Amino acid sequence: MSVIIDVGNCIQLLRSCSAVAGQQLHQLLLKSGHVPSSLPPSNSLLLMYARCSPLHQHDARRLFDEMPVKNCFSYNSVITSHLNSRDHHAALNIFRSMPERNTFSWNTIITGIVSTGNLDMARSLLIEMPVKDPVACNAVLHRYVRRGRADEAFALLRTVGQCSGADASSPWNDPFVLATIVGACADWMKYDFGRQAHARMVVSKIEQDLVLSCALVNMYCKCGDLDSARYVLNGLTQVDEFSLSALIYGYASCGHLHEAIRLFDRKEEPSIAMWNSLISGCAFACCGNDAFALFARMMRSDVLPDSSTYASILNVCGFSVMVNPGQQIHGCGLKCGAVNDIIVASALIDFYSKCGLWEDACRAFRELRFHDTIVLNSMITVYSNCGQIEEARRIFDMITGKSVISWNSMVVGLSQNGHARDALGLFCEMHRLGLRLDKVAIASALSASSSICSISFGEQIFSLATVLGLQSDHVVASSLIDLYCKCGSLANGCRIFEEIDKPDEVLWNSMLIGHASNGYGHEALELLELMKTKGIKPSERTFIAVLSACCHSGLVKEGLTWFHRMQADFSVSPSAEHYACVTDLLVRAGRLEESVEFIENMPFEADAVSWTTVIGGCKAQGNEAMMRKVAKKLMEMESSHPSLYVQLSSGLASLGDWTKSAEIRSMITLSYFHVLCCQPIPGPHVGGSAAAKDVNKWLDEIIGGYDSSIREFHGGDDQKLLISLLKILCRHYGSSGIAGPEMAVTKLFSSCKSSGAHKGEYGAIVHCMKNIPSENQIQATAKEVQNPLVSGRRKEALQ
């Protein structure tokens, strides 16, 4: 017996009811016989199921299959239901089975396929579409642009425009499509195509609404055509804030700060967006002082800076190495709590990193409450640059959703810190996991291969780069040239170089360094002349390679000539590394007195490398007089480089002057304490630098030889104790193990306490050892000392 119901009322209820109420109405309509025989209520039910939860996809499909009569609305509803439940294959099959399709059908299936990311299928459907609707076209174009495939989006629009002709309904004439295209032209700097789109608007007399006009102003500003941007802006009946901010940014980023400020001052009460546009424009133009002055002016106004403001000003401070202004910005951020924002924190870490203030960067990171992948990636680079590779690896391991940048940063860090095999292992893991390998990963793996002189592995990596289409990339090619040259295969390096079209300065420098390291000095100078004829201007790195080539080939005259020409002819000021190369050149030629005079006439204090080179030359040539002269000069200078004293002590000992050697050794302890307490150490392990490694080696030798009966100085046990403490600091600074430094200190003091009673001639140390606390107290104190030591508070720990 059929149930009598009001069908119209049911259809009205189905438009807004929930899935549960809709199922109840479905049962009533089914009992009354209106479903599935009648089309209107059946279509209403299909639409209700499509609108509600994807869990009801099967109910919609069952009803659709039971319907004896279907129309486009029926098909469209069930297609929508399948798309909502992500069953795109079934939706496409139903679409293909439709006897006839309307515009809504095409738009529904195309936008649904676009949401899956299958742009090739969406494109083919759009081409197949009889009448190209702007909705479907804009959906495909927008996704192409979002995927970074702007050129394909432009090509598709040309194809669609040719199919549509001069029809007024053509996507070319749709404001939304044009806004998408113009926005893509702005993001990808496609100035020519953007002008074509603008010309199309003018020819077709398309009304430029506010969105389209803003997009045009933004496009012209980013492409550097400020006159056209100003022309579009002047044509607006009402100038909106977005367009004005875009033009202000355009003028500021191109260096026209006065014009940007003039536009900015037209607003009586500029918003935070306009302030950010002005400051970020100055930051882009690297006008650090101007950006800082504008930030100060903003702080005096009624508008408070936001995270974008702080990020922009910190970025320009980091790029321009403006330490004091950047620290003032940090202070402002601390006062208002802006540093807790993840964007500001990331910019702050980047600022300290670019300024070389690694400890401050690490402190900023430790003060963060929350981390994201971007910040953690930055800290991998920070810890790697300051030698804390274990801490960098710990950060890498704690990232749950590692990006390609995370992997690349870790590979680069391992390679730069001498862990070549670990870097190659991580690279192989990237390849095994199917991650996208870019030029950074390939170049880092090639650099790691060159550091262990593994040509076979490097060639395998380059084969992979060829498969990926990266063989012609200058960064990859430069790394491969370095690999061949370091392994002595200069011919293969030259072959790779010759295959590169229009090599840049980096590739030329790689070839110069390759010739220098293999002893081809004359060929390196010929290559330099060829580089000049190609219009490539030599840089600081170029002249380091040239001077190194002269040094390794004994070309003293040529080396000195190029050293003087680099500033006179190429306006390249010599750095400490250039002076070190010339010093090495003179020392190798046996001209020790000239090398010392050269060092003394440097425009800045000579570094440890230059003096170590002279000491090595004196030792090799047996020049005792010059060695004593250098020793006297260094002791007068009170240099804080431990490696100098290590080399000097070793050199004097080799010449038989044991007394002077012992005196120099005693200075090493004071110098090393100065390094620990006063100098910033790039990393938790003091022995990370070459100088600290030299001191570590000396500490091992001196501690091991202390049982000798020879006492070159009074109070030898005191110094042995001090040196042993230094060794513990070297080995355990930054260690997190419970049985680390505190156990070593306990053992050391216990040993001294037990042996001190038998050495009556050293009353001070005997008294000290007799009155020290118990071993448990020593262990507790040492454990307490470890905390400030690990956190970088070296002075506090040593006190």
168 phi-psi bin (left φ>0, alpha ψ -120 to 50, beta other)? alpha
Non-local (6+) Cβ contacts of 662 within 8 A are 649, 712, 713
Is position 404 within any domain? no
What is the model's pLDDT at position 689?
A: 44
Half-sphere exposure of 32 (CA within 13 A, CB side): 17
How many beta carbons lie within 10 A of that of residue 325, not counting itself?
Answer: 20
**Where a domain ends, among 363, 383, 403?**
383
**Where a domain ends, among 100, 124, 148?**
100
Q: Which own/partner contact pairs does 190-194 have at CB distance under 8 Å and 24+ positions apart?
A: 190/150, 190/154, 191/219, 191/223, 191/224, 191/225, 193/154, 194/219, 194/220, 194/223
What is the model's pLDDT at position 685?
A: 36
In the block, residue with structure tokens 């100085």: 713
What is the model's pLDDT at position 623?
A: 81
pTM tops 0.85, yes or no: no
Is position 779 within any domain? no
Is position 35 within any domain? yes
Residue 398, burial from CB neighbour count under 10 angstroms (0-12, 13-18, 19+): exposed
What is the model's pLDDT at position 271?
A: 92
Show the tokens assigned to 483: 């690999």
Residue of 288, 268, 271, 270 lying closest to 279 (CA atoms): 288
What is the model's pLDDT at position 661?
A: 67
Distances (CA, A) of 793 to 359, 655, 677, 739, 783: 10, 41, 9, 21, 14
Q: What are the residue ranges in the chain where pLDDT is below 70?
A: 1-3, 164-168, 607-608, 634-647, 649, 651-799
Non-local (6+) Cβ contacts of 431 within 8 A are 437, 464
Distances (CA, A) of 183 to 152, 177, 230, 262: 15, 10, 17, 26
DSSP letters of 413-477?
HHHHTT-HHHHHHHHHHHHHTTPPP-HHHHHHHHHHHHHTT-HHHHHHHHHHHHHTT-TT-HHHH
Number of folded domains in the chain? 2
Is position 353 within any domain? yes
Is position 9 within any domain? yes
What is the C-alpha to C-alpha distance for residues 204 and 207, in angstroms, rounded to an integer?
A: 9
What is the model's pLDDT at position 741?
A: 46
Is position 738 within any domain? no
Across 572-586, b (16+ Cβ under 10 Å) vs e yields bebeebbbbbbbbbb
**Where a domain ends, among 100, 131, 161?**
100
What is the C-alpha to C-alpha distance for residues 57 and 85, in angstroms, rounded to an integer?
A: 7
Is position 536 within any domain? no
3-state secondary structure of 793: coil
Is position 633 within any domain? no
Show the tokens assigned to 174: 């749709």
What is the span of the domain harbouring residue 12? 1-100
